[in-house]
Amino acid sequence: MKVTCTAISDVMVIEPKVFGDARGFFTESFNQKLFNEATGTQFDFVQDNHSRSSKGVLRGLHYQLPPHAQGKLVRVTSGAVWDVAVDIRQGSPTFGQWVAETLTEDNHKQFWIPPGFAHGFLVLSDTADFLYKTTAYYAPHSDRGIAWNDADIGIQWPDLGVDFLLSDKDRKQHAFKNAEVFAA
């Protein structure tokens, strides 16, 4: 597995080894021991989630506060998404900054988003199956979000030539300056 740190070093792109031939491909999509060694972390994953969305669906920016903060290892098994992580750790030198990665069924890339980051994605293809492992269970009372289009963060979402489709929850998220974030 190849691990590449992004401009925010705690967020990493993971590329598992893919073995392909005329029949298709094989890849070990997750191995806890190799993940820990490659990322230098000791997180255990407790929940797997799967969503299917159509082109233009934007989900996020979501996170959970401690003690239920979630790290997420995300990937796409069908289609393509543009995936975003925003540093919401007060006192971090990259507080309020974001990084993004395109994840597709063909590039097999995974995105490691540790606790302390808000997360969102935009579907680029007609449909996309998005899978993610989390380091904590979903806890509704710790669930928080930030507006996807917050000017203070300034995410440059790709222009798909269609209006983004958002849930009611995501349309009503807080501005970054009013959001509960991770304490220093």
Residue 28's pLDDT is 87
Torsion of CA 129, 137, 133, 38, to 10 degrees: 160
- The yes-or-no verdict on residue 101 having pLDDT over 80 is yes
Q: What is the rounded average pLDDT for all residues in the chain?
A: 96
Residue 126's pLDDT is 97
Residue 18's pLDDT is 87
Residues acting as catalytic residues: 62, 132
What pTM value is reported for the model?
0.94
DSSP string for residues in the chain: -EEEE-SSTTSEEEE--EEEETTEEEE----HHHHHHHHT------EEEEEEEETTBEEEEEEE-TTS---EEEEEEESEEEEEEEE-BTT-TTTT-EEEEEEETTT--EEEE-TTEEEEEEE-SSEEEEEEEESS---GGGEEEB-TT-TTT-------SSPPB--HHHHTPBPGGGS--B--
